[in-house]
Structures are given as structure tokens and as C-alpha cells.
């Protein structure tokens, strides 16, 4: 998930811990919330947030990754923990995911 999506649903880590639901959330963290190209003077989003610490604070497992070669081992450790886990992968700040356009769907839905 992206960092913005993670923060919009972060409370579900508590649900996972309370109900002993193992799962691993991998965050592609560009500190942009898909807004990296929208400059907002005086309101930087910041970089380097330790979102994996939220999982640890709630009783889960957390991993912080800054190098591509560490992603696989971090995911393996997270899955082997048997706990709800967050793997926070810092990616290049200007890395942007593709965005789907939904304009074409309205014509299909109106039929």
C-alpha cells in the first residue's frame, strides 16, 4: 500500500492484533500520499516516518527498510513472526504510482 492509504486505514492494525489475525502490510513510502507533484509551500509532508513502530506499539511486528536488497528478508521476518506486521519501505520521494482514470466507467455503468 502507499503511505497515504496506510494512514487512512491504520486503525486496522489494532483490529488485526486484537483478533490475532496474522498478515503483513508492505508500505511503499514515498512520503507523498500521491501528492508529491503538488507543491504546497510551507506544508511539507516530511520523510522518514517510522510507520512500522505503530504495529510494534500495538503488539505486532515492524520492519523498516531503506535498501532494495533488504526488502525480501524483511518480509520473510515479518511473515515468520506470526504477528500482524508492517514493513515500511522507504522509496524515492518522487516515485509515483500510476493512477486509473474512471471517466470511461460512467458510460458502462449507465447502460
37 exposure class (CB count in 10 Å sphere: 0-12, 13-18, 19+): exposed
Alpha helix (H) residue ranges in 1-111 = 3-8, 12-18, 52-57, 71-80, 103-109
Give percent above pLDDT 90 in the chain.
59
pTM of the model: 0.78
Domain extent at residue 41: 3-109
Largest interatomic CA distance in the chain: 49
DSSP code of 91?
Answer: -
- In the chain, the number of structural domains is 1
CATH code of 63's domain: 3.40.50.970
- pLDDT digits 0-9 by tens, 38-78: 555 655 566 778 999 999 999 999 999 999 999 999 999 99
Amino acid at each position: 500500500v502507499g503511505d497515504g492509504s496506510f494512514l487512512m486505514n491504520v486503525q486496522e492494525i489494532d483490529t488485526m492484533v486484537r483478533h490475532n489475525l496474522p498478515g503483513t502490510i508492505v508500505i511503499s513510502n514515498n512520503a507523498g500520499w500521491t501528492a508529491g507533484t503538488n507543491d504546497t509551500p510551507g506544508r511539507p509532508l516530511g520523510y522518514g516516518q517510522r510507520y512500522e513502530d505503530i504495529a510494534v506499539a500495538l503488539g505486532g511486528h515492524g520492519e523498516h527498510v531503506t535498501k532494495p536488497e533488504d526488502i525480501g528478508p524483511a518480509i520473510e521476518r515479518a511473515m515468520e513472526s506470526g504477528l500482524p506486521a508492517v514493513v515500511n519501505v522507504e522509496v524515492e520521494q518522487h516515485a509515483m504510482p500510476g493512477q486509473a482514470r474512471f471517466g470511461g466507467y460512467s458510460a458502462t455503468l449507465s447502460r
